[in-house]
Amino acid sequence: MHHSLTSALTHPHAHSGRTCLLALVSGPGGLTGSEAARRLARHGPNRLPEVRGRGQVLRFLAQFHNVLIYVLLAAALVTAAMQHWIDTGVILAVVMANAVIGFVQEGKAEAAMTAIRQMLAPQAAVLRDGQRVTLDAAGIVPGDIVLLEAGDKVPADLRVIEARGLAAQEAILTGESVPVEKDVDPVAFDAPLGDRRPMLWSGTLVTQGTARGLVVATGAGTEIGRIGGLLSGVEQLTTPLVAQMDHFARWLSFLILLAAALLLAYGYFVGHLPFADLFMTVVAIAVSSIPEGLPAVMTITLAIGVQAMARRHAIVRRLPAIEAIGSVSVICTDKTGTLTRNEMVVAAVETPEGSFTVAGDGYAPTGAITPAGDLGRLARAAALCNDATLRERDGLWSVEGDPMEGALLAFAGKVAPDIAATRLDAIPFDSRHRFMAVLTDGPEGCVTHVKGAPERVLRMCGDAEHAHWHDRAEAMARGGLRVLALAERAETADRIDGTALEGGLTFLGLIGLIDPPRPEAVAAVAECRAAGIRVKMITGDHAGTAAAIAAQIGLENPHRVLTGQDLDKLDDAQLALEVMGVDVFARTSPEDKLRLVTALQANGLSVAMTGDGVNDAPALKRADAGIAMGLKGSEAAKEAADLVLADDNFATIAAAVREGRTVYDNLKKVISWTLPTNAGEAMVVITALVAGHALPLTAVQILWVNLITGITLGLALAFEPTEAGTMARPPRRRDAPILSGELVWHVALVALLFLAAVFGMFSYALDRGYPLALAQTVAMNTLVVLEIAHLFFIRNIHGTSLTWDAVRGTRVVWTVVVVITAAQFAVTYLPPLQAVLGTEPVPLADGLLIVALGAAFFALIEIEKQIRLGLKG
Ligand code: ATP
């Protein structure tokens, strides 16, 4: 190979774009599909090598790093020293069971998170066979031509071959957060990475402008691949609530250990109990009261919530968002594509010649325009000032690119087929200046076509008839149409002179597009309002259009609209006052979004905010729950967001709120079940010990109950479905403590009832003259039945448990009930297990009594809850 070509492969920044194209055997039209497939086979997919997490062995060993396990291991050592082999065996079995279960559960939670992350695989637009196609970034090969615009993430290392106002943020490579400008000119051979202006690096973000880049390296061959960085930090499976409980559980464990040590001393020195029995009892107390399983079950609950959200098309990028989204009290949403379908059709046209209606639906370029007239110049502008392409397959037309531009192409096709010209220059659309300009060379010579927001384009057209067209645009917008103005200017140069556009354009006409509201969004807005959540629309569109759509969607107050200009006149304090009463904000800029989030937060609201552009990132980060659009959103917005909507649909936000509330409820249920259960078990034993009474349960039995209920009942609540009425409640307060007075009361009440019931049954059995072992078996089964009854109670913390649905339960609930019942029958009636646990067969009548007692306990706490709910009103 020629020397400079080899050098262009290793140092593309030092050679011209053309040389690089030659070196990579590619052209301005990109590769052919078959050549790309060959290169993919040779180079492999464009993916960074997996950063491997902890190995399985390490992950298993980590399960033993846990206060509970330390206590158990110490206990195993002591019992072994005393040659109590059965105890040692049981304890070691409990240790292994805990470790295996923790390992499996954690593995499932991690796998769920990994699967979710893969749903966010980036896409890229490339040229194949001269056509623009969007594909999975993993399919990109060296030699491909990639098309980029502001907000895109660079999918591979690229040599820029065409650039317009291009800048990229390269912090992940260089640590420099200020965007650097890029262009096509080669730089010195030995320029450092940050100074290689004609290069775009994989993983960096395009912050402005547009570009075409030639892929020079993919996957592990890219700069970022070489330093092996990116994504190395495996996300922690935690949220504020789980972290808080983790902390709580840890300190509670230490408290319990200290108390257990004191009990041991008390029993030995004051109670003069034999050390061996006493030791086992104290261990049993510690094990039954330490809530070490709690954080693990909460993690599973989160993972299940993340999966449930993903099924509803809401992808959680940061776990804390799952809690935040459940507590939002206001949702700020954009309009196009979220509340509306973003399936556009041109319906009306107004030109100096007259008004026209356009028939036809979808993107097919067929349909009558009435009355007949000459719309040729308008159609040329619509077709040439356009980046989209239409595609037909089996009579179905679809758009590649912006749907609004697709609709313009369809309209142009209805006027005149085959409008073509060579593009010389362009000013890309930017939501800040709200227009786009394209300079082409065609049969009519060089012409710049401009399209954009009417007030912006009219300003560029001088002042003739300005007011008239403003009124016309206003009237179209009031009808709910999205309005664009088109204009043109003959050009002599081959570059667009931005300043000459101002005042130098000839107005061509107005185009009105229909973008119907999504029917499901209407229902979702109603659902949110019932759930005490305000919905506000923040759009870049015209005030008239925004108000019309807001009314169709059912926002509370659609007719008071504040525009970006209005917002500029308010200072932050005034805005904080105004913001509460207004539901529609039009012609806003991304900076306005940030101010609005802040103003709403100043009112104590918890804000969810949607966004799609690069400039929305600060608002998304500031919001309590930042939500990016999965389809039309830029990579920059997705990276800043907590949540990504796979379908861009407002209804998905409502679904996410619902799931978020469910997850929070379930976390609360897990806590409300575990803490009283632990307290109850511990109280039973402590009371017996301190009162010098015979133990109602042996130490081994307590270990058993703790193990079997922990892996069944304790986990079942993680799978609870949404409670009825979840979306009829107002949002919870963000600062509401989880360990509320109500919970403390519930812990105390349940612990006392456990104590009374277990001791009651134990004394009753002894009274009947049963041997101690049988009385203890009765007590153990009572404890388990109470825990099951408590589970059924906890399932409905907000409503009544005495409905058919509540009794019917779920598959998970019944499965665990069946498993635990079978296990209890086994340890009560199977001789080998009786030998291990020291149990004796319970007579049928007593068995029924135990179940009846469970039912009575359930009725008692249920009535108590109804009284409490009644008092709350
Ligand atoms: P939303 O913020 O709800 O998504 P939007 O799509 O109208 O609404 P922007 O994308 O900021 O918001 O667009 C603002 C305005 O700029 C539009 O109302 C339209 O007048 C104009 N506009 C949008 N896209 C283009 C484009 N590709 N070319 C020219 N003008 C455009």
Q: pLDDT at residue 825 above 50?
A: yes
Q: Which CATH superfamily is domain 345-514 in?
A: Calcium-transporting ATPase, cytoplasmic domain N (3.40.1110.10)
User: In this predicted structure, what is the pLDDT of residue 734?
Assistant: 73
Q: Which atom of ligand 1 is nearest to the CA of 546?
A: 3
Would you say domain 240-309+658-872 falls under CATH 1.20.1110.10? Answer: yes
Torsions phi, psi for 132 (to 5 deg): -80, 125
User: Does residue 365 surpass a pLDDT of 60?
Assistant: yes
Q: Indicate the pLDDT class of residue 807, thresholds 50, 70 and 90.
A: low
Query: Which ligand 1 atom lies nearest to the CA of residue 482?
Result: 18
| Atom nearest to 385 CA in ligand 1 | 28
| pLDDT winner (highest mean) among 512-526, 709-723, 807-821 | 512-526
Query: Hey, which of 340, 342, 484, 596 would you mutate to test ligand 1's pocket, going by the most ligand atoms within 8 Å of its Cβ?
Result: 484
Confidence band of 787 (pLDDT split at 50, 70, 90): very high
User: Which atom of ligand 1 is the closest one to the Cα of 545?
Assistant: 18
CATH architecture of 324-340+518-648: 3-Layer(aba) Sandwich (3.40)
389-422, pLDDT tens digit by residue? Answer: 898 888 899 998 889 999 999 999 999 988 889 9
pLDDT tens per residue, range 575-630: 999 999 999 999 999 899 999 999 999 999 999 999 988 889 899 999 999 999 98
Q: Where are the domains of the chain?
A: 2-46+140-225, 240-309+658-872, 324-340+518-648, 345-514
Residue among 210, 336, 510, 632 to mutate when testing ligand 1 (max atoms within 8 A of CB): 336
Q: What is the mean pLDDT of residues 829-834?
A: 92
Name, in order, each residue with C-beta under 8 angstroms of 830's C-beta and a sequence gap of 6 or more: none
Residues 6+ apart with CB under 8 A from 870: none
- Tens of pLDDT, residue by residue over 125-165, are 999 998 888 889 999 999 999 999 888 999 999 999 999 88
Ligand 1 center to 470 CA (angstroms): 17
Q: In ligand 1, which atom is closest to the CA atom of 405?
A: 27
Helix/strand/coil for 256: helix
214, 26 Cβ separation under 8 angstroms: yes
Task: Report the distance separating Cα 333 and Cα 432, nearest Å.
Answer: 18
Convert the pLDDT of each residue in 250-308 to its tens digit: 888 889 889 899 989 988 898 888 888 888 888 888 888 888 778 778 888 888 898 99
pLDDT of residue 230: 46
Half-sphere exposure of 655 (CA within 13 A, CB side): 24
Say whether pLDDT at 237 is over 70: no
Same fold, 2-46+140-225 and 345-514: no
More confident: 121 or 46: 46
Contact between 434 and 456 under an 8 Å Cβ cutoff? The reply is yes
Q: How far is CA 760 from CA 192, 699, 757, 778, 779, in A?
A: 80, 19, 5, 10, 9
Q: Name every residue whose Cβ is closer than 8 Å to that of residue 438 and which is 6 or more positions away in sequence.
A: 384, 385, 386, 423, 425, 426, 427, 448, 449
Helix/strand/coil for 172: helix
Which 3 state secondary structure label does DSSP give 642? coil
| Residue 455 alpha carbon to ligand 1 centre in Å | 13
pTM: 0.87
Q: Residues 6 or more apart from 63 whose CB is under 8 A from it?
A: 69, 98, 99, 100, 102, 103, 106
pLDDT of residue 330: 96
pLDDT tens string 66-104: 777 888 888 889 889 888 888 888 888 888 888 888 888
pLDDT at position 48 = 77
Question: Cα of 540 to ligand 1 centre, how many Å?
Answer: 6
pLDDT tens digits, one per residue of 20-64: 998 888 888 889 999 999 999 999 999 877 655 567 888 888 888
Candidates 87, 152, 334, 648; catalytic one? 334
- The burial class, CB within 10 Å (0-12 / 13-18 / 19+), for 70 is middle
Write the residue with the smallest CA distance to atom 7 of ligand 1: 541
- Please say if 568 is a catalytic residue: no
Among the atoms of ligand 1, which is closest to the Cα of residue 454? Answer: 20
Return the residue whose CA atom lies nearest to atom 9 of ligand 1: 540
234 CA to middle of ligand 1, Å?
37
**Residue from 831, 759, 742, 756 nearest 794 by CA:** 742
Distance of CA 570 to the CA centre of its chain: 33
Q: Please tell me the distance between residue 29's alpha carbon and the centre of ligand 1 in angstroms.
A: 29
Average pLDDT over residues 772-791: 95
Q: Closest Cα to residue 324, out of 660, 667, 666?
A: 660
pLDDT band at 231 (very low <50, low <70, confident <90, very high): very low
Name the residue with the closest Cα to ligand 1, atom 17: 541
| Nearest CA residue ID for atom 31, ligand 1 | 452
User: Is residue 228's pLDDT more than 70?
Assistant: no
Q: Whose CA is nearest to atom 14 of ligand 1?
A: 540
Query: Which residue's CA is minimally distant from atom 26 of ligand 1?
Result: 429
Q: Which residues line ligand 1 (CB under 6 A)?
A: 334-336, 402, 404-405, 429, 431, 434-436, 451-453, 484, 539-542
CA distance 565 to 569: 7
Statement: 2-46+140-225 belongs to CATH 3.40.50.1100: no
CA distance 283 to 701: 12
CA distance 47 to 202: 10
Distance 541 CA to ligand 1 centre (A): 6
The alpha carbon of 484 and the centre of ligand 1 are apart by a number of angstroms equal to: 9
Q: How far is the CA of 515 from the centre of ligand 1 (A)?
A: 12
